[in-house]
Amino acid sequence: MTQLIQTLINGVSLAAIYALVAVGFVIIFKSTQVLNFAQPALLLLGALWVTYFTTVVGINFWVSLIIAIALSAATGVFVERTALRPMVGKPIFAVAIMTIGLNTMLTVFALAGLGIDLRPIGEPWGLKTIEFAGFVIAQRQVAALVTAVVLTSALLVFFKYSRMGLAMRAAAFDQEVALTQGVSVAAVFALSWALSAVFAMFGGVFVGAGVGIDRTAAVTALKALPVVIVGGLDSIGGALVGALIIGIAETLTSTYQQQFLPQLGTGFAQVVPYLVMFVVLLVRPTGLFGTEEVERV
């Protein structure tokens, strides 16, 4: 029982990282209808900014984080202005392919900055743990969970109560109607990319927390794709639920598969997110919380 609860704690913590990246996917899809395959590169770039300021420039982690938030947001806006804006009105498929190209370009840039070695993030949690009710929990796990909850809650409050949030919801609902109501759809697009890049950056920080980050970190961001497919591409709540499902399924498999199904070999846990995605797609193609498309006949 202890092992099961410990595994669930680890799963929730992993889910928090997936959620941070997945929410970024959803923000962009909701407001622009674009499936952003450049999210892994934004994660790497975000982590690069943090590690650069903490280890190369040598400034405090929290100050570095604030600078990295600004730089990540600026990167998001820059990408939207230079690469996505000219694609407005083009087929969604073409724009999605464009984001794959963007991912490659930004990854090359990020990798050049990261270099080939492991780079410490410089966060204050390190490998410190806390004990709670007999369970050992890493401080970075708690930090990831708190960050995901706080940021996502703030985002939901922003969408619900702020003027810009309302504008973003209007643009997500119908861009043309929003335009006629005086909403600056261009500003909505730019803000979406900025927010998405900042969420990805936080994901990158927690991927690298503890040991450090290297060029393999972007692999984690790819797991956010099954997360959003499971939760529903246009649902922030769905992204959270999807992250929980995928995170817990993956850690449960990691922990128990060798015990109960060793025939599946090693590394099977890496397949589980995609297996869950496959099953959900078969049963409910729009994801658990995605909006079903309504067609007028």
Binding residues for other proteins, per CB under 8 A? Answer: 3, 6-7, 10, 14, 55, 111, 115-121, 123, 126-127, 129, 136, 138, 210-212, 214-216, 219, 222, 250-251, 253-255, 257-259, 266-267, 269-270
Closest to 132 measured CA to CA, from 123, 122, 142: 142
Q: Is 88 helix (H, G, I), strand (E, B) or coil?
A: coil
| Rounded-to-integer distance, Cα 26 and Cα 56, Å | 33
CB nearer other proteins, residue 135 or residue 173: 135
Q: How far is the CB of 132 from other proteins (least distance, A)?
A: 12
Closest to 98 measured CA to CA, from 28, 38, 32, 33: 38
CB nearer other proteins, residue 95 or residue 142: 142
Name the token pair of 230.
């499971």
CB nearer other proteins, residue 216 or residue 291: 216
| Rounded-to-integer distance, Cα 259 and Cα 267, Å | 13
CB nearer other proteins, residue 29 or residue 125: 125
Q: How far is the CB of 238 from other proteins (least distance, A)?
A: 24
Q: How far is the CB of 117 from other proteins (least distance, A)?
A: 4
| Rounded-to-integer distance, Cα 117 and Cα 73, Å | 26
Q: How far is the CB of 215 from other proteins (least distance, A)?
A: 7
Q: How far is the CB of 83 from other proteins (least distance, A)?
A: 23
CB nearer other proteins, residue 30 or residue 119: 119
Backbone angles phi, psi at 131, to 5 degrees: -110, 130
Q: How far is the CB of 40 from other proteins (least distance, A)?
A: 12
CB nearer other proteins, residue 165 or residue 212: 212
Name the token pair of 282.
């078969």
Are the CB atoms for 234 and 291 separated by under 8 Å? Answer: yes
Name the token pair of 295.
């067609």
| Rounded-to-integer distance, Cα 263 and Cα 140, Å | 33
